[in-house]
A and B are shown apart, each in its own frame.
Chain A
Amino acid sequence: MFNDRLITGLQQALNRSSLNQKVIAQNIANVDTPNYKAQELTFNQTLSNALSAEKTDPRDFSFSTEDQGRIVTDNSTALQNNGNNVDIDKEMVNMAKNQLNYQAYTEAISRKLNQYNIVLGGSGA
């Protein structure tokens, strides 16, 4: 019951989102550091990808719900004279998006767990 792919997928998404928050915090903390290059988290899997992979036949490929996010450093640009390429506006926007995503995931997990509550005869409050 609790191995449901939705909850596992959401858990991975939450991990990824919290790691993304740390990456953004590191970038903003180093906004004045000379020669610092901004890092970002890249995703190889999307949540919908993981959800839609139903295996109806044993020969089907299974989509892994393993998170493959990697932290990459963008070495190519230099926004300022001191070699620093952190774009504070982009980081702020990413942070806002990340925060909303995180709240959406926690809300989704809460409601899913609430469903079990209803099934088990609770009031679902």
Chain B
Amino acid sequence: MGFLDGLNISGSALTAQRLRMDVVSSNLANADTTRAQMVNGKWVPYQRKMVTFSPINGSFSGYLSNELGSSSGASVGGGVQVNAIVNDTTPFKEAYDPTNPDANTQGYVQLPNVDPLKEMVDLMGAQRSYEANVTVMNAQKSMLLKALEIGK
């Protein structure tokens, strides 16, 4: 592993958390969108999006040197990545509003399955993770700067 790889790990986490925050803002912005896409001639409301994370695993040679007991070639993994942005398949919310142009024959309007409370909690989680990773990155940078001072 190069000496700057530690920064890559934290950098990948910052990117992943920022993407998660973007997904949350998209969900909140579209919390009332009843006409997201046309399916079979009918308008379907916006479906809530979610991100799935997965760790970036180390290379085979890294695992091998870890088992052999050599710490210099050991591979820790590359951080975290966003696997996919998936749709939330929970059913849409329904509200009774016969005057709405999107109401069906019984007078019910389908609204997106976005719960603002859940989104805010997710947003706070993403923010704290982001801050934690910034702290890690600062610690690594200060360690590397200290290493450059050996022998001075």
B49-62: CB near A (< 8 Å → 1, else 0) gives 00011110000000
Does the CB pair B6–A33 fall under 8 Å? no
Name A's B-contacting residues (CB within 8 A): 12, 14-16, 18-19, 21-26, 28-34, 36, 39, 41, 66-71, 88, 92, 95-96, 99, 102-103, 106, 109-110, 113
Contacts of A29 in B (CB 8 A): 9-10, 12-13, 16, 55, 79-80, 133, 136
Instruction: Indicate if the CB atoms of B53 and A25 lie closer than 8 Å.
Output: no
Which of these binds chain A: B26-34, B98-106, B111-119, B144-152?
Answer: B144-152
Per-residue CB proximity of B1-16 to A under 8 Å, as 1/0? 1010110011011001
Q: Does B71 lie at the interface of the complex (its beta carbon under 8 Å from any beta carbon of A)?
A: yes
Establish whether residues B139 and A99, one from each chain, have CB atoms under 8 Å apart when the complex forms.
yes
Smallest distance from the beta carbon of A24 to chain B beta carbons, Å? Answer: 7
The yes or no answer to B77 lying at the interface (CB within 8 A) is yes
- Across-interface contacts of B9 in A (CB, < 8 A): 22, 25-26, 29
Q: Is the CB of A102 within 8 A of B10?
A: no
Q: Given B5, B74, B137, B147, which contacts A106 in the complex, CB threshold below 8 Å?
A: B147
By the criterion CB–CB under 8 Å, are B72 and A25 in contact?
Answer: no
Contact of A70 among B12, B55, B69, B129 (CB under 8 A): B69
B residues in contact with A12, CB < 8 Å? 71
Q: Are B55 and A26 in contact (CB under 8 A)?
A: yes
Q: A39-B76, A71-B76, A110-B150 are in contact. Are A25 and B6 (CB under 8 A)?
A: yes
Most chain A CB atoms below 10 A, which of B10, B16, B150: B150
Name B125's contact: one of A28, A32, A113 (CB within 8 Å). A32
Taking a contact as CB atoms under 8 Å apart, the answer to whether A32 and B53 are in contact is: yes
Chain B residues near A96: list those with CB within 8 A. 139
Contact of A31 among B5, B74, B129, B142 (CB under 8 A): B129
**Closest 10 pairs between A and B when the two form their complex, measured CB to CB:** A29-B13, A33-B53, A25-B9, A22-B76, A29-B79, A22-B6, A69-B71, A29-B80, A26-B77, A67-B71
Contact partners of B25 in chain A: CB under 8 A: none
Q: What would 22 A/B residue contacts be, using CB atoms closer than 8 Å?
A: A19-B1, A19-B76, A25-B140, A26-B9, A26-B55, A26-B76, A26-B77, A28-B10, A29-B133, A29-B136, A30-B13, A30-B80, A32-B125, A33-B54, A67-B70, A69-B74, A71-B74, A96-B139, A99-B143, A102-B147, A106-B147, A109-B151
Contact in complex: B151, A30 (CB < 8 Å): no
- Closest chain A residue to B14, Cβ basis: A29
- CB of A50, distance to nearest CB on chain B (Å): 14
Question: Does B37 make an interface contact (CB < 8 A)?
Answer: no
